[in-house]
Structures are given as C-alpha cells and as structure tokens.
Amino acid sequence: MYELEVTADVLVMTGQGKAAIDQRHIEVAPQAPPGFGRLESFESSESIGSLESPECLESTLVRAVLAGNHDLFGRLYQLYAPLVHGILLARLPRSEVEDLVQDIFLHALRKLHTLRDTGAFGPWIAMIARNRAMDFHRRSRETIELSDDLHSADSSQSKAEEILAIICTLPDAYRETLVLRLVEGMTGPEIANRTGLTPASVRVNLHRGMKLLRAKLTFKEGLS
C-alpha cells in the first residue's frame, strides 16, 4: 500500500511546512520573474521587516506597492506563489500551470488598486486563480478531465504523480487544500491565513480529503 508520510491529524498539528509528496516529481511554485523586483528591497526595510503579524505584513506590503514601491511586489510573489500554484495544480493540466502563475501575478499587479482590503491579498489572488482555472476550461474546446493523468499513466510514472492524479479526482475543496499541504508544503495555519478559510475548515478539508485519498489508494492497490 502507498505510504503518505503524514496523516490528517499530523498535517494540522506539526506546524511544519514540509511537502509530503516528493517534489522531484511534482513541480512547485516558480521563482519570481525579474519584473517583480528584488527581495533585498524588502529585507532592507526596517519598518516592514520588524512586523510580526502575517496579516499586518501583507497589508503593509500591499500599501507599499500601491504607494509606488513596486520592488516589494516580489515579496508578495514569494509569499503567495505557492498558494496560486497549488490552486492551479489542483484544477489544470500541469503543463499549463507555471505560465499561468506568472500571468496571474502580472494581472494582480495591474489590478492591485482595486483591492479594497489591503490585508486580504491572499484570498483575493486565490479567487483570481480559481477564476482563471474556470476560464481555461471554458475556452477549451476539448473536455479536459484532470483524472485523465491517472488513466493514461504508464508503468514508469512516479508514485508522486499517481498520488497527485488521484488527489485531482477529489471534490474541489479537498483537492485544493491537499495540494497546498502535500505538494506546496504549506501548513494548516498558512493555508487558512492565505486563503481566508477558517482554521476549522482547513482541518476538516484535510481530514476528509486524506480519508478519501487513502480510500482511493487502497482501492487502486486492490485492482493492481
């Protein structure tokens, strides 16, 4: 039987941002492109670097970018690229994800002035990512089933890829939360903070998602 390195309870309680799926086989969020500025600009800012609250940090970064310090958008990218990447990976073919991550952040930079709550950048860009995923499927003339990766996999496909393919057959809420945790390595509290979900909702999604995932893995093994 497949061994996932974690259980639903451990995912929530450890507080460790370690991805459970081998990232050598599943690509994670790309680095910020040059146009998003230098991270050093963030690190050298005493007024921002001294902040402790993630919500306060997020709001301050957004306000600084809106005030004209576009270099700090690179820091927002670093913080939220795993979130956007995970949301897309749970919904789209892997070949489409990386370029769309870059496109979404470029769009967010152009539309940042429309964000009413500067402390809600995470939920805002998460919604943009979900909408872009829906738009992708609407524009596609051929029906794309994320579960196709599982059915078309050859014998050399890695365990990580098989697990991801199975995750992508789960209900939206479960697969998004599981990808953010297992692939992107985000902790339960990080997922809650950056998506706008309550910590209780994240725990429920992880617990139920892991239960369904284990059931599907057990069923698949029984067929092999």
**How does pLDDT run along the chain (224 residues), one tens digit per residue?**
444 444 333 333 333 445 665 554 455 556 665 555 543 343 434 444 444 466 788 899 999 999 999 889 999 999 999 999 999 999 998 888 999 999 999 999 999 999 999 999 999 999 999 999 998 878 765 444 444 444 444 443 567 788 888 999 999 889 999 999 999 999 999 999 999 999 999 999 999 999 999 998 887 666 55
Within-domain flag for 197: yes
In terms of residue numbers, what domain contains 206?
20-223
Q: Angle between the 199-223 and 188-195 helix axes, to the nearest 10 degrees?
A: 120
Beta carbons within 10 angstroms of residue 118's beta carbon: 18
Give the side-chain half-sphere CA count within 13 A for 123: 13
- Nearest-5° angle of CA 44, CA 45, CA 49? 100
Q: Is residue 3 part of a domain?
A: no
DSSP summary character for residue 168: T
Q: Is residue 151 part of a domain?
A: yes
Whether residue 10 is contained in a domain is answered as no
- 5 found inside a domain: no
- The tally of domains found in the chain comes to 1
Tokens 């059915």 map to which residue?
Answer: 151
CB 67 within 8 A of CB 113: no
- Please check whether residue 135 lies inside any domain of the structure: yes
Residue 200 in domain: yes
CA separation for the pair 46, 38 (Å, rounded): 16
Residue with tokens 């994670």: 28
Q: Which residues contact 43 (CB under 8 A, 6 or more apart)?
A: 49
Q: How far apart are the first and last CA of the chain?
A: 11
| Residues in Cβ contact with 211 at an 8 Å cutoff, skipping those fewer than 6 apart | 8
